[in-house]
Chains A and B, each alone.
Chain A
């Protein structure tokens, strides 16, 4: 009995330990990004982000002028009871007391630093990174040496508005169209019904790449390229098979009796659809809405092709990708920019996770 209990505890520790490790591995990349986005731009480049944790660092406590001490750098020197050559001092020599002596500068005019290892944290947090990526205006800051530097803003604020302008209609329009179609497939009888639904199922996995060249040509004729309308319609078209399929699966399982009694009372299909089916389908509508919203918000390829290069219409993923391309080393911008693109989907995701999971479980293979 006792051994089985010990075994159980060991099992429990193993399960929770391994899981905790996995969760940490999954979290660390995001934590690193989030922490860095608030750090000073110089700190990001010179110290790793985990320097915000207490760590030991050499700090100068005393500076010695070797010439005043009468030391000759060409041979072994003795300082504070330590004898070392110039090369050794250059690399740093640790004293028995735990101090470090280091020669800074060149052989002739350098100084010797006495350093102590002290606990420290690198806690210089700022909102400047966010200000700079959000602003459309140029950003002025003063360097530590006093020079004033002007950098154009990245206008993520405008890009955020563009993303919202793209994502909301691109989510709502397909839901509306798909809900009508799902109702039609589920509750109406008409010739070609089976064939049409087969088409919907077949198109579920069709890669959207297949449509890009022809649709781009149509848009060129309609003079639609680079407009929001172009991308709303494209996302509507590409999202429609999954929307119809998911909503059909839900609507077709609603209790038949409820609908039939409504029909007997003389209600038309349209009334039943708007008054009965839509309210009952809210969970399914919400699942798809979250699915489509996250998909559209995070999309890069469709936006890249249909919105094109006009900076004024770029969505957040495009702006972020543009910074990666232009200034891939500017981590203060990249981290803040990446977090700005993530905030809204993360809020949606965490507040409506339940619906999102339901949508995933409803069986989804999207093209």
Chain B
């Protein structure tokens, strides 16, 4: 079949190639568009009919998932009706096209659009009809220019006091403190559990917070940090301990006197949530180290510390790098915990809370978009690393 395909593509004339490509793009766009239309109509119908949520959910699943599945089936059927020559050319686009179209709409194009918006003032680029570009290009450009601020938003992003505070927190507390703590605790639990008598139980318990939302975790830890006036019994665990040791009760995450160190009380929450992830990956990696190597080292007289640092850590270096990058990316975008716990007050602002506040509360799209672009630029090294690793794969 591959042979057939290759021969056919050699014989293709430019016009036939153009038609093929147009058809491919049409297929890729048509399936999601029709799917969207069907879902949209069904949705409007249900909403107008005031159906109960249970019904909406059930129909959404049957209608949405079933509808999308049927669309694939119908388009595939249509393409298979065509002569083999066209089928082999178009069928891959029935399979891959819809996913690519959705990715383009939801992630790829928005990146470019956000970049474009970030070059403009508060309301972003003015909404001028494109027809104006053809009828009077000068006026079109003049209108755009009126809102254009160039790199102004970016200069503001890097000089604003609150943004500098956000950068400090993201880089120092979230990447500098939360990430290594997560990795260290994950590694510690993985190593200990591997030799303990209750490995599965211990791992399940440390892993459990992964199923808890950040909002839920925020409530759980708010309860631990809860403060009552001096003299009345402290119902928060931390303040009960502090008072028991003769200290003063404090609203720890909101304790501005120790700012910026109050960030650490938010960092603890994320370490608590993410250690399970690190532990699972480390645990699997540790189990992959051949037992003979470790035994051989022990026979040679290495103590447990030496076995750990000289053999285990180097063997799982790849996993340590993966976990560290994943946690860094994750903490870079940290939002929910900070938003629920402090709302970014008391010196705990981070990049994502600033992004949210600027984009959706202050309604300053240009500035908010510039912050989003800064986030994107921050992950580009990881993106390049992923792509390079992918390039080394044989499959493609």
A320/B107 contact (C-beta < 8 A), A19-B189, A180-B95, A194-B396 known: no
B7 interface contact, C-beta 8 A:
no
Are B95 and A188 in contact (CB-based, < 8 A)? Answer: yes
Q: Please, which residues of chain A bring their CB within 8 A of the CB of B213?
A: 297-300, 317, 320, 341-342, 345
Are A228 and B56 in contact (CB-based, < 8 A)? Answer: yes
Q: Which of A214-242 contact B (CB under 8 A)?
A: 214-215, 218, 222, 224, 227-229, 232-234, 236-238, 240-241
Are A205 and B196 in contact (CB-based, < 8 A)? Answer: no
B242 interface contact, C-beta 8 A:
no
Query: By the criterion of a CB under 8 Å from any partner CB, how many residues of chain A are at the interface?
Result: 121
Q: Please, which residues of chain A bring their CB within 8 A of the CB of B185?
A: 22
Q: Please, which residues of chain B bring their CB within 8 A of the CB of A301?
A: 335-336, 352, 356
Cβ proximity bits B57-73 to A, threshold 8 Å, 1 near / 0 not: 10011001100110011
Are A205 and B379 in contact (CB-based, < 8 A)? Answer: yes
- The stretch of B166-174, B175-183, B324-332 in contact with A is B324-332
Q: Please, which residues of chain A bring their CB within 8 A of the CB of B111?
A: 206, 210-211
Q: Which of A12-34 contact B (CB under 8 A)?
A: 12, 15-16, 18-20, 22-23, 26-30, 32-33
Cβ proximity bits A278-302 to B, threshold 8 Å, 1 near / 0 not: 0000000000000000100111110
A298/B212 contact (C-beta < 8 A), A200-B103, A228-B60 known: yes
Are A357 and B280 in contact (CB-based, < 8 A)? Answer: yes
Query: How close is B132's CB to chain A, nearest CB, in angstroms?
Result: 18
A211/B100 contact (C-beta < 8 A), A180-B95, A341-B216 known: no
Are A365 and B386 in contact (CB-based, < 8 A)? Answer: yes
A365/B210 contact (C-beta < 8 A), A173-B65, A202-B386 known: no
Chain B residue nearest in CB terms to A161: B53
Q: Please, which residues of chain A bring their CB within 8 A of the CB of B201?
A: 23
> When chains A and B are docked, how far (Å) is the Cα of A50 from the Cα of B284?
36
> When chains A and B are docked, how far (Å) is the Cα of A239 from the Cα of B383?
17
Cβ proximity bits A28-58 to B, threshold 8 Å, 1 near / 0 not: 1110110010000000111111100000000
Q: Which of B120-149 contact A (CB under 8 A)?
A: 124
> When chains A and B are docked, how far (Å) is the Cα of A20 from the Cα of B1?
60
A364 interface contact, C-beta 8 A:
yes
Are B369 and A181 in contact (CB-based, < 8 A)? Answer: no
A331/B223 contact (C-beta < 8 A), A48-B235, A270-B80, A365-B386 known: yes
Cβ proximity bits A325-367 to B, threshold 8 Å, 1 near / 0 not: 0001001001101100110011011100100110011011101
Chain A residue nearest in CB terms to B55: A165
Q: Please, which residues of chain A bring their CB within 8 A of the CB of B36?
A: 233
Query: How close is A242's CB to chain B, nearest CB, in angstroms?
Result: 11
Chain B residue nearest in CB terms to A28: B237
Are B99 and A240 in contact (CB-based, < 8 A)? Answer: yes
Among B68, B124, B211, B232, the one with the most A-chain Cβ atoms within 10 Å of its Cβ is B211
Chain B residue nearest in CB terms to A49: B235
Q: Please, which residues of chain B bring their CB within 8 A of the CB of A164?
A: 57
Query: How close is B318's CB to chain A, nearest CB, in angstroms?
Result: 11
Contact of B386 among A184, A201, A227, A236 (CB under 8 A): A201
A252 interface contact, C-beta 8 A:
yes
Are B106 and A317 in contact (CB-based, < 8 A)? Answer: no
Query: By the criterion of a CB under 8 Å from any partner CB, how many residues of chain B are at the interface?
Result: 124
- The stretch of B39-47, B156-164, B255-263, B306-314 in contact with A is B39-47
Are B369 and A177 in contact (CB-based, < 8 A)? Answer: no
> When chains A and B are docked, how far (Å) is the Cα of A27 from the Cα of B206?
8
Query: Chain A's interface: helix, strand, loop or mixed, by majority?
Result: helix
> When chains A and B are docked, how far (Å) is the Cα of A267 from the Cα of B47?
42
B348 interface contact, C-beta 8 A:
no
Chain A residue nearest in CB terms to B39: A229
Are A19 and B103 in contact (CB-based, < 8 A)? Answer: no
A183 interface contact, C-beta 8 A:
yes
Query: How close is B186's CB to chain A, nearest CB, in angstroms?
Result: 11
Are A213 and B210 in contact (CB-based, < 8 A)? Answer: no
Are B196 and A300 in contact (CB-based, < 8 A)? Answer: no
Are B192 and A209 in contact (CB-based, < 8 A)? Answer: no
A168/B219 contact (C-beta < 8 A), A19-B196, A213-B359, A241-B107 known: no
Are A237 and B102 in contact (CB-based, < 8 A)? Answer: yes
> When chains A and B are docked, how far (Å) is the Cα of A205 from the Cα of B68?
26
Among A162, A168, A270, the one with the most B-chain Cβ atoms within 10 Å of its Cβ is A270
Are A199 and B103 in contact (CB-based, < 8 A)? Answer: yes
> When chains A and B are docked, how far (Å) is the Cα of A297 from the Cα of B216?
11
Cβ proximity bits B198-225 to A, threshold 8 Å, 1 near / 0 not: 1001101111111111111011111110
A361/B284 contact (C-beta < 8 A), A184-B96, A338-B219 known: yes
Q: Which of B230-286 contact A (CB under 8 A)?
A: 232-237, 240, 272, 275, 277, 280-281, 284
> When chains A and B are docked, how far (Å) is the Cα of A46 from the Cα of B378?
47
Contact of A181 among B100, B117, B232 (CB under 8 A): B100
A321 interface contact, C-beta 8 A:
yes
Q: Please, which residues of chain B bring their CB within 8 A of the CB of A69?
A: none
A198/B387 contact (C-beta < 8 A), A177-B68, A229-B39 known: yes
Are A269 and B117 in contact (CB-based, < 8 A)? Answer: no
> When chains A and B are docked, how far (Å) is the Cα of A48 from the Cα of B198?
30
Are A335 and B375 in contact (CB-based, < 8 A)? Answer: no
- Cβ-closest 9 pairs across A and B: A237-B106, A184-B95, A298-B213, A181-B99, A349-B211, A211-B110, A184-B96, A190-B92, A165-B57
11 residue pairs of the A-B complex, CB under 8 angstroms, read: A22-B185, A30-B208, A47-B235, A190-B93, A203-B103, A211-B111, A212-B360, A237-B103, A237-B105, A320-B219, A324-B340
Question: In the complex, given contacts A188-B91, A361-B280, what are 17 additional A-B residue pairs having Cβ atoms less than 8 angstroms apart?
Answer: A18-B188, A23-B202, A161-B54, A172-B65, A173-B68, A180-B96, A181-B99, A201-B390, A204-B386, A210-B376, A236-B102, A241-B103, A270-B77, A301-B336, A341-B215, A342-B216, A357-B284
